[in-house]
Amino acid sequence: MKKISVIGMGSWGTTLAILLAEKGFSVNGWEWMERYARAMQRERENKLFLPNCAFPENLKVTNNLNETVSFADIIVIAVPSQFVRKTISKIRNELKCKHIISVTKGMEADTLMRMSEVIIQETGAVPENVSVLSGPTHAEEVSKKLPATIVAVSINEKLAKEVQRIFMTDYFRVYTSSDIIGVELGAALKNVIAIGAGIADGMKLGDNSKAALITRGLREITRLGVKCGANPHTFSGISGIGDLIVTCESRHSRNRFVGEQLAKGKTLKEITDSMEMIAEGIKTTQAAYKLSKKMNVEMPITNEIYNILFNEFSPQEGLKRLMTRSAKSEDEF
């Protein structure tokens, strides 16, 4: 059995580490805060982010990053997107020749890069050694072994199938894909729309409004994705509409929560200060806004969410601008 290290022991990293250990792999998990790492190793669970999920004996947690990477044949990157570059820069030489799996959903606000691009640029890894695992999979449910589906994607078909084999269980069904652009953009951009869905919930706009937001949001995501080189069919699949639906609707969604609190009048700082975990959609909104301008793609919903988050526009103003835009056909933006 291969040795696997999970870099980042938040709720999702912890869930995957437990899943892999229960399948019989030797697993090391890296936690960046030493006191949390010690607590997890001592208590054999992640009481902060994933309570009541016991660690198998073959799952070890440490604060030693180099030791964690040296231990494994396969490295799973599960740190938040804004910390991916900083984290892997410390271990770039060790990562270069290993199989790397990114499970992080987001984009860099400054470079506008997807996570696989950041990993390849920072480590010099061969693109054929990099894969992504993404889909509608909240840790809170997967950790309870509730049925879920996800996509393993790589330009290397053999690697995608290997990742599929490694992670597949009777409750965690893994599909494969070669469209790494589409899968990563779908995973990142759905968080932007989910903030909008939370705003709609907070404003009590009803089911009709939520349906409109999701469908028009998907059109925005697809339009930008295709311009960046993605396969349009990807956005009709698990990592597209599937991930979008669950993130816009679930009580577990941190991004939906951010939008809901904004609609209730809280400031962005007040909201983020109150959260233990990171809402990826905040930084991704910045990246999506900049990328849409760079690629000359009209994204009206994304624009309004950007204005609400960063220009102090009210949700009511954003809604009015969206609803009073000039009349168009459904194929237009």
Catalytic sites, residue numbers? 190
CA gap 247, 318 in Å, rounded: 21
Q: Which residue has the tokens 């028009």?
A: 216
Cβ atoms of residues 194 and 211 within 8 Å: no
Cβ-proximal residues to 86 (8 Å cutoff; 6+ apart), any chain: none
Q: For residue 59, what is the enclosing H or E element?
A: strand 59-62
Cβ atoms of residues 259 and 196 within 8 Å: yes
CA gap 112, 102 in Å, rounded: 17
Cβ atoms of residues 232 and 222 within 8 Å: yes
Cβ atoms of residues 288 and 107 within 8 Å: yes
- Sheet containing 172-177: give its strands across: 59-62, 26-30, 3-7, 74-77, 99-102, 130-134, 148-153, 172-177
